[in-house]
Chains A and B, each alone.
Chain A
Amino acid sequence: MFSTALTWSDLAFLAHGAGMTLAVTAVSVAAGTVLGIVFGVIRFQFGPYWSAPLTFALDIFRSVPLLIQLVLGNALQSIAKLGWPPFTTSCVVLSLYTAAYCTEIVRGGIDSVPVNTRRAARSLGMTWWQDMRYIVAPLATRVSLPSWIGLTLGVMKDSALVLWLGLIELLRASQILVTRLQEPLFILLLCGAIYFVISLPIARFGRYLEERWSPND
């Protein structure tokens, strides 16, 4: 019952796929967070009326399936003759997708900073930038961190969809092995276990930071 045709090189193949998943996730989350912070500040600063076009544009990324977004992104880059490899296309689409969710998190974080605290900073002679940097950023980060960790884990799982563009990440790698070895259950369980093992440390790290940053609660 426990005999399997899985060899060490197959395991290495799976590990390579997991590496691809991690690479796509890392690039997308990093770029998406930077964009999300910029968009979030813009949305907060301009108010609901003037930032409506931005809100609408970002809402599209949250209301259209990621699979469709990836296909559209790939079609667009070939129409524009950019000649991007699948990795670049996937990262660009996933970054925008991440940014759309991150914007909401950032806006919520800034919203949670009491207006009086900010007024106090400004009346002490701080500039807008200093207020943002030394008052809002630390307070908002604490509030937003749990959702941001959740977003990171979500993007890690959603990155499985890039297999549609031909990128061999964890799920695609295990699918290839399933086709070759005909042991779907065992290999898929292995794949699921790897996803679990990847997301556990991220979740733990988030909980650690959360505890460490709130010693007075």
Chain B
Amino acid sequence: MTQSPAAAALPSSDAGDSRALARSVGVNQFRLNPFRVLGVPVDVEASKALWRAEKLLTRARAGLPPAEASALPWLSGADELEVQQAAQKMEEPLRRLSEQLLWFDFGLDPRGEELKRALTGPDPVALAAYRSLRDEDLQALVPEVPDEGAADMKAVTERLVKLLAHRANQANLRLVLAFSAMYGLGPSSEDGGARAGGGPVLSWEQREGLRVVVDPHALFGADGKGAAWQAELTEALARWSALLQDSWFPTFLGYQITRLGDDLVSADDCEPLIAALRTRLADLVVGEMKQRLMGGFADEARALSRIASGSGLEPQVWTLAFRPLRSLFRAELAQLDTLVDESHPVHLNDVSLYLDRLDALNASWREIDSKQLLGLAVLIDEAVLRAFDRVRTLDFPLTGIGAVNAVLAEARRVANSESVKERIAAFRSRLEGRKDELCHYCRKREQDFEYAAMLSGRVETGRSHGFNSTTVHYRIRSLPILRCASCAKLHDYLASMGNWAVGAAAVTFALAVVLFAGSGGLLWGVLLAGLVGLGFRMLLGTVVTPRREHSYSDYSGSKAHQLLSEEGYGQLQYDYSLHAWKVAAGRQQ
């Protein structure tokens, strides 16, 4: 007989923390269940439940404890107000039914009496025995009914109702054991067990002169310390999920409603009750998750998130249940807001830092919310958009586009949703496009139209033949190559140096003619003069043009060249003088 894992619950981080226990929604679901508080069976009449409550209250007010022990003795008792509230729950039929579903029907369950004794004892051995029961084990107690048509439906229904009652008990048992184990509570084991032993067995090893525990995270992390309640809770939710999807569950619920005999509830309430139960189960998990998040127990919060996403309950249920937790995460995000706050000037570095922090948060939140039930990715995207909007309001020159785009690339990377990524990408590409407004040559400074270089081309448009002549018609087009004032002045300087180059070439020619007179001096003169002239300017152009900038003569990558080429213009003429634009404009006029 295997011992219940919960019976050997390891002390949780909250063991002995009575405040945390008092806040536990999971534990309180069972501790304050009215059937437990009043010590009555689920089929008790409302009046008798009320009388029981009156007696309990009378005793409580006089300082007397209840006369009988209640089930789940490891959970504390109820105070006067809680007894009153329990009595009231019994008088509200829908509320009563909701509580009933998350309690134990000892009467309807064929093995209910065993469970009752085990829970009241408590008797871990008997609990383990009950836990290990399967549906097949109940067949002996629930006789088969011959399948002979509608006449036997009542018997079939009764049989199924008992089976479902047993299944519900099994699910609830695991639920209460899981929540109890979260706080280091539960039925203690006869052989002492891990709980009495006070902790996990540690194994030590010697490492570089130090004694270290082997893999402590496995013992105290999600796979070790928390494994017991996590496995229990996972199974509880899986069982409940299966029950809720069982086509006979509404019939089971209808049976409960009929048994209650209160005309304020009817079969029409089955669906709302089922929905309420789903919501309640989700709320229990979310409530515990909130406790863990606020206590800083991220591992356990992640575990609960995993359990939630794998539970089989519909995602919509979890989305709604988790929504209130968003404020916790929003508060965490809000601490970063000062970096991008609109109330004070913000630098690009601030935004970059903000994005770094967001990235770190995003990574840790992804572990908590891998299935997007909490909607944390949406919060990150909202924050990314705040950063994005802030960048858009920054005043930066065109030369700063590179740095801005680098930050935006980071923002795009951090964003989770495609729409946000696309939006940032679109903006980035438009910013890149603004680079065309930079000087074609240096790509650093803004253009100044007044200093544009000019590229002209001509294209033949036709020929007209006269008497003895042919006229060729051309269209000439001049387009500016936009450059900054600095590059224009440099180019002008180079142009002026061209005169010096001519002079140098002339001197070289003369020298060559003289030196090589009689042996092709003219030819040598022309050759050398050309080399000197060309080389002089090229050398000068290369020397004075900064690295990674286009040389004065490099118009081939410009838009003007591209356009002229596309439109078939040839015989290009290139004017890179200082006032080339004005000259061209003057010509046009």
A and B interact physically: no
Which residues of chain B have a CB within 8 Å of any CB of chain A? none
Which residues of chain A have a CB within 8 Å of any CB of chain B? none
